[in-house]
Chain A
Amino acid sequence: MSAGDPPLNSPQIRRLSPVIEPGHTYATVTDKISAIVLTRPASLGWLAGFTLTFAIVMLLTVALAWLIIKGVGIWGINIPIGWGFAIVNFVWWIGIGHAGTLISAILFLLNQKWRTSINRFAEAMTLFAVACAGIFPLIHTGRPWMAYYMFPYPSTMGLWPQFRSPLIWDVFAVSTYGTVSLLFWFVGLIPDLATLRDRAVTKPKQIIYGMLALGWRGSARHWHRYQTAYLLLAGLATPLVLSVHTVVSFDFSIAIVPGWHTTIFPPYFVAGAIYSGFAMVLTIAIPLRKAYDLQDFITMRHLENMAKVMLATGLIVAYGYFFEFFLSKYSGNKFDVFLVEQRLHGPYRHFYFALILCNILTPQLLWFQKIRTNVPMLFVMSIIINIGMWLERFVIVVISLTRDFMPSAWGRYSATFWDYATFAGTLGLFTMLLFLFVRVLPAISIAEMRELVAHTSEEGHE
């Protein structure tokens, strides 16, 4: 340090909070994280949360059973609004998943150390969100038991899927995304499963974790190939995650419906997906670190960085909204101009104004460090953004369909009890899976935390 530099503890240099609090060793990080799974008894809060979410999953089963018995007529959809809650929820859920892949793949490639303690549960979040998302296109087909028609299989009818259709692209994009996310997650888990196998004290746990760990023993030769495979997977997952929401946006933009037929959709959908996903990661991380005393591992640095990513992607989304508006006006196309007016003055304008409030105005508070480091405030904001992103999909799907080209084809849409029950049910399923996840698998990557300890202790030596 040269003489002119201010001392490190001076107020001129705002010191970053560390990505892991000092004083941890390989053994303490292992103990602390694996104890949540292996030794800590289920708390009353966990049991209450699990019971509640399990009850909501039962509501989902009832809603799905009733749907299969009666058909999609129990929903609020009609002609012309054939896409209601089902597609809104599908796009919302799949978008939430994207932050998990972004954190695990893109931040890995960019060598961002702060990703380490949040990537595991963010990836779990991705998987569960994809599971929830997958339910909707399936059930909205009306005859979900015929959904296998979408897949190319040698049928006696000699039929093949129509590969020019965005809906078939969607099937391939979402199923590939689900598979690759699962692989990525599992590969990351292997060393930790070995740790759990070696630390488990009861026989059933040793056997189950032992089988899942595949006999991992930490050999240098294995790590060598493992790291190559992990890096390649990260490299593959990065374009994949961008392609998935692009393909989802094609479901809309390939159609000629006003408000859908626009080239800005792919990037703006991807940014929106990351935006909502980071909001969901915060919604989960804040209670998780509190409930399991993980403040040492999920530090203020993580929360603040995620808030910054939300702010940046939120601005991209705002740019998308602005250009949707501008291009419609500028094009002079009367249907597009009319659609913009419908968003501002039509029967669903409240949704549009709520969307602007949630997605564009509220996040501007994140410019202030005081807000970014205020945990309860961040939690509330993450929920507001989740609501905002849901409203965005509602505005896109419903307003365009209710105001088609001909006034004779205009209509209204309102959701029924079963629409709400199915949506609430998937929220319950998502949360229940998360409750199970934190109890049976390490919510933070133990091997990567040890690596982080090694790096921070090296920095200390120098």
Chain B
Amino acid sequence: MIHQHRSHIYGVVGEFESERELLRAAEKTRDAGYRRIDAYAPFPVEGLSEAMGLGNNRVALLTLIGGLCGGLGGFGFEYWCNVISYPLNIGGRPLNSWPAFIPVTFELTVLGASLFAVFGMLALNGLPQPHHPLFNVERFAKHATTDRFFLCIEARDHKFDLADSARFLESIGAHHISEVRDD
């Protein structure tokens, strides 16, 4: 019966009182073989990324790329402007007076890296995303950004079964367990 409605179900979510309970629950859930899980906390919980087995995210790489684009692009553009497109003799200095190009190159490096860091982070997170099935869960919408910790086993997980997974969440100390509907 459950399998027929599976497309409308996003997963099953359980609530925890403290970040320690959440940490322990995330570890146990992974140990039980669930992979498509996500934990939700009102602040970054130390050690949660490790407990969930999250590896390297690509934000640092994107930032490096942004910084290189900003820096190389910035210097290249200055060179093109002041050496090729509009050469102007200033006090007999060489056209490619590169030390004078460094301040702008530096600023554009920082600008490129920062823009890539922020927008890269948002893009990888899939934000902005105005709606998410979890917001249908009343207690989640009310407490997830305030004082409660949630763990969700998603229906995409190959081990997912609404009743079993709910029972599993209960066994690891979750309360207010509820299904998360997609619609």
Query: Do A and B form a real pair?
Result: yes
Chain A residues close to B by CB (< 8 Å): 25-27, 30, 152, 158-164, 166, 168-169, 172-173, 176, 179-180, 183-184, 186-187, 191, 194-195, 197-199, 210-211, 214-229, 232-233, 236-237, 239-240, 243, 247, 250, 447-448, 450-451, 454
Interface of B: prevailing SS:
helix
Which residue of A is nearest B129, CB measured? A215
28 contacts between A and B (CB under 8 A): A30-B146, A162-B82, A163-B81, A166-B103, A168-B104, A172-B108, A173-B103, A179-B114, A183-B118, A198-B142, A211-B130, A214-B128, A216-B145, A218-B144, A219-B40, A220-B38, A220-B40, A220-B48, A222-B127, A223-B45, A225-B125, A226-B125, A228-B59, A232-B60, A243-B106, A243-B110, A447-B43, A454-B45
Which residue of A is nearest B124, CB measured? A225
Give complex CA distance A164, B78 in Å: 9
Contact string against A for B residues 23-58, beta-carbon threshold 8 Å, 1 for contact and 0 otherwise: 000100000000000111111110011001010010
Q: Given A173-B107, A180-B110, decide whether A218 and B122 contact each other with a Cβ distance below 8 A.
A: no
Residue pair B88, A162 in contact (C-beta under 8 Å)? yes
Residue pair B63, A215 in contact (C-beta under 8 Å)? no
Kindly state whether residue B5 has any CB partner on chain A within 8 Å: no
CB neighbours of A169 from chain B (8 A): 103-104, 107
CB neighbours of A186 from chain B (8 A): 118
Partner of A180 from the list B45, B90, B111, B129 (CB cut-off 8 Å) is B111
Which residue of A is nearest B141, CB measured? A198
Give complex CA distance A163, B78 in Å: 7
Give complex CA distance A195, B146 in Å: 6
Residue pair A218, B111 in contact (C-beta under 8 Å)? no
Residue pair A176, B117 in contact (C-beta under 8 Å)? no
Give complex CA distance A179, B66 in Å: 15
Residue pair B86, A220 in contact (C-beta under 8 Å)? no
* Other A-B pairs, 15, CB within 8 Å; known A152-B77, A183-B114, A215-B131: A158-B86, A163-B101, A172-B108, A176-B111, A184-B114, A198-B146, A215-B129, A216-B127, A220-B26, A220-B52, A223-B45, A226-B121, A229-B63, A232-B59, A447-B44
Residue pair A159, B97 in contact (C-beta under 8 Å)? no
Give complex CA distance A195, B118 in Å: 20
CB neighbours of B118 from chain A (8 A): 183, 186-187, 229, 233
Residue pair B39, A214 in contact (C-beta under 8 Å)? no
Chain B: interface size category: 35 or more
Give complex CA distance A220, B142 in Å: 18
Residue pair B121, A152 in contact (C-beta under 8 Å)? no
Kindly state whether residue B120 has any CB partner on chain A within 8 Å: yes
Which residue of A is nearest B140, CB measured? A217
Residue pair B40, A225 in contact (C-beta under 8 Å)? no
Which residue of B is nearest A448, CB measured? B43
Which residue of B is nearest A207, CB measured? B130
Kindly state whether residue B134 has any CB partner on chain A within 8 Å: yes
Residue pair A152, B49 in contact (C-beta under 8 Å)? no
Partner of B41 from the list A27, A168, A220, A229 (CB cut-off 8 Å) is A220
Kindly state whether residue B2 has any CB partner on chain A within 8 Å: no
Residue pair B145, A191 in contact (C-beta under 8 Å)? yes
Give complex CA distance A246, B50 in Å: 41
Give complex CA distance A160, B41 in Å: 50
Interface centre among B57, B85, B90 (most CB of A within 10 A): B57
Residue pair A159, B86 in contact (C-beta under 8 Å)? yes
Which residue of B is nearest A239, CB measured? B110
Give complex CA distance A422, B36 in Å: 59
Q: Smallest Cβ distance from B125 to chain A, in angstroms?
A: 5
CB neighbours of B59 from chain A (8 A): 225, 228-229, 232
Kindly state whether residue B135 has any CB partner on chain A within 8 Å: yes
Give complex CA distance A349, B122 in Å: 54
Residue pair A232, B113 in contact (C-beta under 8 Å)? yes
Give complex CA distance A180, B78 in Å: 21
CB neighbours of A236 from chain B (8 A): 63, 67, 110, 113-114, 117
CB neighbours of A226 from chain B (8 A): 44, 121, 125
Give complex CA distance A450, B45 in Å: 10
Kindly state whether residue B132 has any CB partner on chain A within 8 Å: yes
Interface centre among B77, B85, B104 (most CB of A within 10 A): B104
Kindly state whether residue B115 has any CB partner on chain A within 8 Å: yes
Contact string against A for B residues 72-99, beta-carbon threshold 8 Å, 1 for contact and 0 otherwise: 0000011001100110101001000100
Give complex CA distance A27, B147 in Å: 6
Which residue of A is nearest B93, CB measured? A164
Q: Smallest Cβ distance from B127 to chain A, in angstroms?
A: 4
Residue pair A164, B63 in contact (C-beta under 8 Å)? no
Which residue of B is nearest A34, CB measured? B146
Residue pair A223, B132 in contact (C-beta under 8 Å)? no
Residue pair B130, A229 in contact (C-beta under 8 Å)? no
Q: Given A164-B93, A179-B114, A236-B113, decide whether A218 and B131 contact each other with a Cβ distance below 8 A.
A: no
